[in-house]
Amino acid sequence: MKTTTIKQGFGVMFMSCSILFSSQTLAATIVIDDASFGSQSVLRDTTNNLDYLRLDFTMGYGYNGVTAQLGAGGDFDGWQVASSSDMLSLGSSVGISNGSTDTLQVSLAESLRDWFCPTGTCVNLSSTHEYARGLISDAGPVYASGAPSQDAFSIGRRFNVEPNEVDYRISGYGGLDHLNEEVFLVRASVVPVPAAVWLFVSGIGGLGLISRRRA
């Protein structure tokens, strides 16, 4: 568990000047600042209206530690553990699919990996993959002791094949380490109502007032 408590609450979010990936995905994903977690800490999927927290903020908590901090006043107040459906929706918005050998998709998958796990934080390197991995809400296999586990999701590049492939999938490493594994977190986006909508609503209200006066 981290010794410093992260400041809580949604707070006011500010749009970041940074754009994630490429112009091809600009309409679907943007990086935003968050008052609780700082600069460029949240990835917003504007297609599905979901926010994703950078994975490195959950380092040191483990699954049980994160879920214990999801309630009011907790370190992750307002967030919930992402499901495989949430992660696949993000992949669809970004434009990547597991196993693709398209060079642009591979590059996008690496960019997504490096956003979730900035340099020097939580990127994993094996003999076959370079990836970010976090636990998700989907139930994994039950341990021999009878204890439940969670599945994990991987994002990155598979380099033991030629051409290289996108690695974007439920990893099958469910519950490898409940104590130390990072956790993907998601929340519904808070999307401000455009000013034009307020003007439209005001106009309707004004028409209603005029009608009542005429009556």
192 belongs to a structural domain:
yes
Q: Is 179 a domain residue?
A: yes
The pTM is what?
0.77
Instruction: Kindly tell me if the per-residue pLDDT of 163 is higher than 80.
Output: yes
* 3-state SS string for 38-66: EEEEEEEECCCCEEEECHHHHCCCHHHHH
Dihedrals phi, psi of 184, to nearest 5 degrees: -75, 130
pLDDT of residue 22: 43
Cross-strand partners of 135: 152, 183
φ and ψ of 55, to 5 deg: -70, -30
Per residue in 90-102, is it b (16+ CB within 10 Å) or e — as a string?
bbebbbbebebee
pLDDT single digits (tens) 105-148: 999 999 999 999 999 899 988 888 899 999 999 877 766 666 66
Total count of domains within the chain: 1
Average confidence (pLDDT) over 145-173? 85
Rg (CA), the chain: 20
- Whether 3 shows a pLDDT value over 80: the answer reads no
Between 10-19, 59-68, 149-158, the lowest mean confidence (pLDDT) is in 10-19
Cα–Cα distance measured from residue 59 to residue 48, given in angstroms and rounded to the nearest whole number: 26
Q: What is the pLDDT of residue 18?
A: 42
**Average pLDDT of 169-190?**
78
Using the predicted structure, report yes or no on whether residue 46 has a pLDDT greater than 70. yes
For residue 23, name the pLDDT band (cuts at 50, 70, 90).
very low
**pLDDT average, residue stretch 31-47:** 95
**For residue 25, is it within any domain?**
yes
Mean pLDDT along residues 45-71: 94
| Cis-peptide into 148, omega within 30 deg | no
Q: How many CB atoms lie within 10 A of CB 182?
A: 27
Q: What is the pLDDT at residue 102?
A: 95
Q: 3-class SS at 157?
A: strand
**Per-residue confidence (pLDDT) for residue 24, from 0 to 100:** 42
What does the alpha-carbon distance between residue 18 and residue 15 come to, in Å, rounded to a whole number?
9
Tell me what the mean pLDDT of segment 155-173 comes to: 89
- Distance of alpha carbon 195 from its chain centroid, rounded? 28
CA 157 to chain centre: 18
Is residue 4 a part of any domain in this protein? no
Instruction: For residues 167 and 49, give the distance between their C-alpha atoms in angstroms, rounded to a whole number.
Output: 24
Average pLDDT over residues 150-179: 82
5 lies in some domain? no
Confidence of residue 192 (pLDDT cuts 50, 70, 90): low
Q: What DSSP designation does 188 have?
A: E
pLDDT of 199 > 60? The answer is: no
Domain with 67, as residue range(s), is 14-214
| 36 occurs within a structural domain | yes
Q: What are φ and ψ of residue 118, in 5° steps?
A: -60, 160
